[in-house]
């Protein structure tokens, strides 16, 4: 199983094994990462926003569709490597990726 690291607001990190096919948001919620994910993945809230901590890893992710782009625009603390994690499926290619919880998500 691929390993994903979440960097919490307090700077602590959790590295967890992620099940292929789940969304990164689901993996985060299962592991008590402090995101709200209020709409549970239906692309209606932007509270699953996280920042990919490496430009190369961000570039290698499957591209955002227009609906994700529109919703992501509403997220707080947006960066150029921001994504909505409910829209990213876990695959082996994600192994070693790091996601930062934004300050005011
Ligand atoms: S959980 Fe609401 S947009 Fe991702």
Q: Is 105 domain-assigned? A: no
Q: Is 59 domain-assigned? A: yes
Whether the model clears a pTM of 0.85, i.e. scores above it, the answer is yes
Question: By the 8 A CB rule, do 85 and 105 touch?
Answer: no
CATH number, domain of 48, equals: 3.10.20.30
pLDDT in the model for residue 103: 84
Q: Is 43 domain-assigned? A: yes
Distance 90 CA to ligand 1 centre (A): 16
Using the structure block, give the residue that is written with the tokens 């919620």. 29
- pLDDT one-digit tens code per residue, 53-65: 999 999 999 999 9
Identify the domain containing residue 58 by its residue range.
Answer: 3-100
- pLDDT one-digit tens code per residue, 13-30: 999 999 999 999 999 999
Domain count across the chain: 1
* Alpha-carbon gap, residue 72 to 20, rounded angstroms: 24
Q: Which atom of ligand 1 is the closest one to the Cα of 49? A: 4
**Ligand 1, CB cutoff 6 Å, lining residues:** 25, 37-41, 43-48, 71, 84, 86
From first CA to last CA, the distance across the chain in angstroms is 28
């Amino acid at each position: 199983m691929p390993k994903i690291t979440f960097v919490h607001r307090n700077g602590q990190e959790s590295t967890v094994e992620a099940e292929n096919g789940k969304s990164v948001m689901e993996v985060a919620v299962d592991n008590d990462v402090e995101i709200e994910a209020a709409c549970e993945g239906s692309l209606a809230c932007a509270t699953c926003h996280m920042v990919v901590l490496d430009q190369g890893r961000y570039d290698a992710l499957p591209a955002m569709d227009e609906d994700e782009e529109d919703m992501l625009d509403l997220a707080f603390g947006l960066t150029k490597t921001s994504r909505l994690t409910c829209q990213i499926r876990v695959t082996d290619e994600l192994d070693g990726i790091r996601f930062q919880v934004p300050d005011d998500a």
